[in-house]
Structure 1
Amino acid sequence: MWKQLLSSYFSFTKKERTGIFILLFLIIVFTLLPFLYPLFIKSKTVDSTVFEKEIATLKIKQQDTANQYVKKNFDEDNYPNYYQPAENNYNTKNKGELFYFDPNTATTADWQRLGVKDKTIAIIQNYVNKGGHFYKPEDISKIWGLHPDEVQRMIPYIQIAPKENTYPQKTYEAKTYDKPKNSPSIIDVNNADTSAFIALPGIGSKLAQRIINFRDKLGGFYKPEQVGETFGLPDSTFQKIKARLSISNSGIKQLNINTATVDELKAHPYIRYNIANAIVQYRAQHGNFSSVADIKNIMLVTEEVYSKAAPYLTVQ
């Protein structure tokens, strides 16, 4: 059995053996090809001396350009401080006269007496004329051109007057506002539409539509408390809106118990099928009802059922 199985898988024809040898030869050739490639193709040697010379020349030119830019734009010996005057240019032997002054009201002559340079005086006057104000003696240190020693020399003599309020002070009259009293609107439950019910607290569009559908099935409300029987209306919500419900004098739709069918009677929310069927059967056996109260003779009609359904029934 094993011999037959092996012979079925490993017995080849002459053409198949030839193909297998050729395939093995190609696999060996392609496997050895990366190792034989350098023997047949020689890589070119690159002379990097020319490239290194060009890099060295570029570095020399870059250094020359940097040194030339520094010499042209920056003089280390004469570098000016753009925020404070140079120490070498400041005359430590100040010839100014010291006296008490207010930098907010001092004139050009006052600053000259203090020994301040004309250029710095022009900066101070320009600052004050544009609305600038010195609030404390140390504020003069912010003026460009005043040396720190010069500032410290003048600070003890600075007397700044309090700034006057140039804006007229407005007087406001105390006004009392009466809070408007919003009296809640009263709606007629027999004539109100969905928008009127939605205006009530806790009533959305779905509840408003349910109230109207319930009203249509009843034939109208005869007392506001019936709204609380609407399916899905929480009692807590009804208690909130109860005081805003009213009933108009419009009549409600009534059913004639002497002519109504079982289907007409059972369609009313207060009359179930068994009661509707009992009313029709009683009428067939005893004749027409002389008054609505006669339906009390039917055993299924309890006092509760009668009190709720009677306003919607008639014998005429």
Structure 2
Amino acid sequence: MWKDFISGYLSFTKKDRTGILVLISLVVFFAILPYFYPYFIKQKTYDPGDFKSAIASLQVKRADSTAWYEKRHINNRNNQDQYSPSTKDYTSPPLKGELFYFDPNSASPADWKKLGVRDKTIATIRNYLSKGGKFYKKEDIGKIWGLHKDEVERLLPYIQIHTSNSTNNPAEKPYEKSEYKKISYTNEIVDINIADTAAFIALPGIGSKLSQRIVLFRDKLGGFYRVEQIGETFGLPDSVFQKIKSRLKIGSPQLRRININTATVDEMKSHPYLRYVLANAISQYRIQHGNFEVVNDIKKIMTITEDIFNKLAPYLTVN
């Protein structure tokens, strides 16, 4: 029994034996493949001479690149030296020109040319003077870009700056105490429906812009019916309004009213309290339900709240 069990467990079918044989063959093949690989693949040989030639070529390119960089660096330094300001210790070719006494503030281009100054430098000087520049003392000429130190020293002895009785140099003017006029405000009461911009400017905290805005706001509304409307002016701080509130009054308001039965959307929307949404709502309601009998009828429009109605009512009419 034990023998039959061993025999049955270790016995293989023909298919099993074939698979085992193939597996063993593959293992043997890959095991001996490295030994035969050099015979099938031709090894590429390298000539040391080619390697040395490549190195020499790189060295030549490197030398050319270094020489180009050094040449560029020298050119840049030369350019910097060429455009350096006159404060640098630079020795330029001597100017060829006639020396005579001159005022750099009034000298003409021809005078500068006669002195031997280069055209580019002359243009720089003229540009400096045209933009409000001025030479206040001889040494100021050294600030001109393009005039080198030795050139400045050549011209200095011949510079004569003519000064007027009143100096034009702000730095040399004696300090003058400014006298400011203190603005005084009157206690006059201002009628906000008839006051002009000058009357509003007389109020503390109100300048020209705010006064113009108040008048413009009043014109768009069609007049004020209460003082608090001044506080709705764009840009007017509440602190300023509270300060001037006691100085404001409404005499006899004559408001410009809008007939909601005949006014178009464009006419109504120009009013600061209406704008397009409410103007269009009033127009649509009128088209659907007919003319309004009384101003209170606009309360039937859903978008018009009690607060909106209270602000609008003084400016509306049905007649």
Report the TM-score, using the length of structure 2 for normalisation: 0.42
